[in-house]
Amino acid sequence: MNVKTESTSSPKRLARIAGVFYLLVALFGGFAEGFGDPKMYVAGNAAATAANVLADPGLVRMIVVAHLVNAVFFILTAMAFYILLQHVNKSVAMAMLICVALSAGITTLNAVFQFEGLQVATNSSYVDAFGAAGSNALVLLLLDIQHYGTLSAQVFFGLWLAPLGYLAYKSGLFPKALGVTLVAATVYYLVHLITAFLVPDFHKQIQPFILIVIIAEVWLLGYLLIVGVRNVKPGKNILAAATV
């Protein structure tokens, strides 16, 4: 009796573990990308960007670390989902994991450019070599790379939601509407990215549709933490996913 109870609760435990990891992704990623990066980076303004970095180098270091920690927890989130959902379709689950690994890798690499921007801003040898204007321009260049590199990572940050949505839909462990909403969020991410590079004016007009992403991710996070997964009907083989 005890063994059975423990086994049937394993998917819920896995889901809640994924939820905790995903919450940490939201916290560290939200701090880094939602608060920290915009506070430092001023597009097209080298002097203002360098001044922001110089004004609070400790904050820049915290932002860099937040990006790195966010990447680690993102990988752990995907691994938990892989274990939970691989029984539905192992190839699709692997595609989800690969997308997350690529997104985390790009984000981690971009954090190095941000840190180097701090190094240039705070090291007087760059001013001696390039002058104040040249040094500021170099800081802006490095943060430009970090900004657009992080934007590029959205290709995979968006794509991971499509296989996740499919697996959630087919598994029966989550509401089917949640699976559909996750796939819709993928579409928004990709359109958002393409327009940012090709048609910046239109890119600004579609910003309100980010509500789709907010609904999808908050719904997923809340479901994982509060519900975990739906109770499994007898005869459905999901227990193997919890023990692999």
**Phi and psi for 153 in degrees, rounded to 5?**
-65, -15
Q: 144 by DSSP, 3-state: which?
A: helix
Q: Among 2-6, 16-20, 38-42, 82-86, whose mean pLDDT is lowest?
A: 2-6
- Residue 78: which pLDDT band, with cuts at 50, 70 and 90? very high
What distance lies between CA 145 and its chain's CA centroid?
18
The H or E element spanning position 29 is helix 2-29
Tokens of 33: 């990308």
CA dihedral 175, 180, 184, 186 (to 10 degrees): 80
**Phi and psi for 234 in degrees, rounded to 5?**
-55, 140
Please report the pLDDT score of residue 5 as a whole number: 41
Alpha helix ranges (H) inside 172-238 = 176-198, 200-205, 210-226
Tokens of 187: 């579409």
pTM of the model: 0.86
The answer to whether the CB of 171 falls within 8 A of the CB of 100 is no
Q: 45 by DSSP, 3-state: which?
A: coil
Indicate left, alpha or beta for 41 from its phi (over 0: left) and psi (-120 to 50: alpha). Answer: beta
Nearest C-alpha neighbor of 134 from the set 47, 62, 28: 47
pLDDT tens per residue across span 144-186: 999 999 988 989 989 999 999 999 999 999 999 999 999 999 9
Nearest C-alpha neighbor of 165 from the set 223, 124, 205, 226: 223
The answer to whether the CB of 140 falls within 8 A of the CB of 49 is yes
Cα-Cα end-to-end distance for the chain: 22
Nearest C-alpha neighbor of 13 from the set 242, 237, 188: 242
pLDDT tens per residue across span 11-50: 999 999 999 999 999 999 999 999 999 999 999 999 999 9
- How far is 187 from 165, CA to CA, in rounded Å? 12
